[in-house]
Amino acid sequence: MFSVSSVDSRKSTRYFSAAVVAFFLSFVVMASSKWTNNIFYAFIALPGLVFLLKERGAGLFKDSLSWAWVAFLLWFLVPAAIAGDGQFYKHIAYVGLFVFVVGGLTDPQFFRSPSFVRLQFWIICLYIFAASIYAYASGQYEVGARVALLPARMQNVIYACIWLLCTLSLALPLWLRERRWGEGFCAIVLTLVAIAFVLQTRTALVGAAFLAGLWCVYGIWRHPKAGVVSLLISVALLAAVFGLVHNERWFLSLFARGDSYRIELFQIMTGEWRNCGWLLGCGVDFQTTKTLTGGMPIQHPHNIFVAMGLYTGAVSLVLFVLVMALTLLQAMRLRDAWGVYLACALVMLNFDGSKLVGNPDELWPLVLLPAAMILGNVVRQARYRSL
Secondary structure (H, E, C), 288-301 = CCCEECCCEECCCC
Q: What is the pLDDT of residue 235?
A: 87
Q: Is the pLDDT of residue 106 over 70?
A: yes
Q: What pLDDT band is residue 31 in, cutting at 50, 70 and 90? A: confident
Q: How far apart are the first and last CA of the chain?
A: 9
Q: What is the pLDDT of residue 321?
A: 98
Q: What is the pLDDT of residue 242?
A: 86
Residues 6+ apart with CB under 8 A from 110: 17, 116
Q: What is the pLDDT of residue 7?
A: 45
Q: Is the pLDDT of residue 384 over 80?
A: no
Instruction: Please state, in angstroms and rounded to a whole number, the distance separating the CA atoms of residues 239 and 235.
Output: 6
Q: What pLDDT band is residue 373 in, cutting at 50, 70 and 90? A: very high
pLDDT exceeding 70 applies to what percent of the chain?
Answer: 97
Q: What pLDDT band is residue 246 in, cutting at 50, 70 and 90? A: confident
Highest mean pLDDT among 68-77, 236-245, 281-290: 68-77
Q: Is the pLDDT of residue 383 over 60?
A: yes
pTM: 0.94
Q: What is the pLDDT of residue 223?
A: 83
Q: What is the mean pLDDT of residues 373-380?
A: 94
Quick: pLDDT tens for 268-298.
999 999 999 999 999 999 999 898 888 888 8
Instruction: Please state, in angstroms and rounded to a whole number, the distance separating the CA atoms of residues 328 and 104.
Output: 18
Q: What pLDDT band is residue 3 in, cutting at 50, 70 and 90? A: very low
Conformational region of residue 200, where left means phi above 0, alpha means psi within -120 to 50, and beta covers everything else: left
Q: What pLDDT band is residue 96 in, cutting at 50, 70 and 90? A: very high
Q: What is the mean pLDDT of residues 102-124?
A: 96
Q: What pLDDT band is residue 32 in, cutting at 50, 70 and 90? A: confident
The mean of the pLDDT values for the chain is 91
Residues 134/317, Cβ–Cβ less than 8 Å? no
Q: What is the pLDDT of residue 4?
A: 46
Three-state secondary structure of 134-181: HHHHCCCCCECECCCECCCCCCEHHHHHHHHHHHHHHHHHHHHHCCCH
Q: Which of 163-172, 213-222, 320-329 has the lowest mean pLDDT?
A: 213-222
Q: What is the mean pLDDT of residues 157-163?
A: 96
The closest alpha carbon to 269, from 315, 261, 75, 78, belongs to 261
Q: What is the mean pLDDT of residues 262-272?
A: 92
Q: What pLDDT band is residue 387 in, cutting at 50, 70 and 90? A: low
Instruction: Please state, in angstroms and rounded to a whole number, the distance separating the CA atoms of residues 376 and 103.
Output: 4
Q: What pLDDT band is residue 386 in, cutting at 50, 70 and 90? A: low
Q: Is the pLDDT of residue 333 over 50?
A: yes
Q: Is the pLDDT of residue 385 over 80?
A: no
Q: Helices (DSSP H) in the chain: which residue ranges?
A: 4-7, 11-29, 33-40, 46-54, 64-75, 77-83, 86-105, 114-137, 157-177, 181-193, 202-222, 224-245, 249-256, 262-276, 304-334, 338-352, 363, 369-385
Q: What is the pLDDT of residue 257?
A: 74
156 φ, ψ (degrees, to nearest 5): -70, 115
Q: What is the pLDDT of residue 16?
A: 96
Q: What is the pLDDT of residue 1?
A: 39
